[in-house]
Amino acid sequence: MATGFFAVFDDIAALLDDAAAMSKVATKKTAGILGDDLAVNAQKASGFASSRELPVLWAITKGSFRNKLIILPIAFLLSAFASWIIVPILMLGGVYLAYEGVEKIFEYFFAHKHAKKKEAFKSLSKEEILEIEKAKVKSAILTDFILSIEIVIMALGTVLEKSLPVQIIAVTIVAVLATIGVYGIVALIVRMDDFGFKLIEMADNGKSLLKLTGEMLVQALPKVIRTLTVVGTLAMILVAGGIFVHNVHQIHDFLHLLPDVVAELLVGLVIGAIAVLVHSLFVKVVKVK
């Protein structure tokens, strides 16, 4: 009886060791998409009032955990019983990401419309601003949902040959670490200026290292946010393009002479432009009716 009892523990230990090893492999495989995830979510979490940054980020983080709770069991079930549907789901998500990325580029080149929106934003009441905030949080959670699907599927792809328990443990570890890591770093980024002001307050004299460091952090934050906005937009387009390049053989074969990054960017831009055009036409048709 005792021998059987300890044998169970040996099996559990072996399972956990195998899962830990595969978690490391899966994390390395998803490192690229995690970098894109960080850039996109940092961009999504910026642009709020200073007092609302952490509450908004916490709301998005909770939404991200809920996304994982939905995606993980569905991914395991689909992998076991309907693996053929995973790629179409990924491609639908890719269309959405491409649409978001190209729409931001479109808004940038038509800044006069964006400026009017900013002027109108200043005259809004507190309740209206909170409603806009809720809409932005929902958009961020939806984007996180699509990126989470990509992360989970990529992680799952590295452990498909393993047993189901190993798949569940390894992919779940990657999903949890991705959420904690990405949003932890985003929180540090969006609060960089507060930390800088704290250092300035702690400085004893005008030329202290603390004050210079604090001023550098305060001045750097707007540049970091602008950079992340650009990187996040490009990341969405690249992730979207990558989904199509790696899953549609005709596209891959047609663009195989181009570097991967160029091919993914080109495909993402084309798909995003088509999605923006279709959405614009749909909105016009609905308004006419």
Cβ atoms within 10 A of the Cβ of 202, count?
11
Highest mean pLDDT (candidates 106-120, 175-189, 230-244, 260-274) = 260-274
Residue 144 has pLDDT above 80, yes or no: yes
Closest of 182, 184, 194, 222 to residue 50, by C-alpha:
194
pLDDT computed for residue 30 by the predictor: 52
pLDDT computed for residue 55 by the predictor: 83
In order, the DSSP letters of 109-137 are: HTHHHHHHHHHHHHT--HHHHHHHHHHHH
9: tokens are 């523990």
CB contact at 8 A, 37 and 151:
yes
Across the range 15-33, mean pLDDT stands at: 54
| Backbone phi, psi, residue 125, to 5° | -80, 170
The conformational region for residue 43 under phi > 0 = left, psi -120 to 50 = alpha, else beta, is alpha
Give the C-alpha separation, 24 to 276, whole Å: 38
Of 14-18, 47-51, 202-206, 223-227, the poorest mean pLDDT is in 14-18
Closest of 20, 64, 70 to residue 184, by C-alpha:
64
pLDDT computed for residue 8 by the predictor: 41
Please report, for the chain, the start and end positions of each structural domain, with discontinuous segments joined by +: 2-288
Residue 17 has pLDDT above 60, yes or no: no
CB contact at 8 A, 128 and 120:
no
Give the C-alpha separation, 107 to 138, whole Å: 20
Mean pLDDT of the chain: 77
Specify the DSSP class assigned to residue 255: T
pLDDT digit string, tens, across residues 27-83: 555 555 566 567 666 766 666 666 677 788 888 889 989 999 999 898 888 877 887
Specify the DSSP class assigned to residue 52: G
pTM, whole model, 2 decimals? 0.69
Give the C-alpha separation, 171 to 262, whole Å: 30
Orientation of helix 164-190 relative to helix 192-202, angle to 10°: 50
Closest of 137, 128, 144, 151 to residue 57, by C-alpha:
137
> How confident is residue 264, by pLDDT bands cut at 50, 70 and 90?
very high
Specify the DSSP class assigned to residue 50: G
224: tokens are 């970091």
Residue 23 has pLDDT above 80, yes or no: no
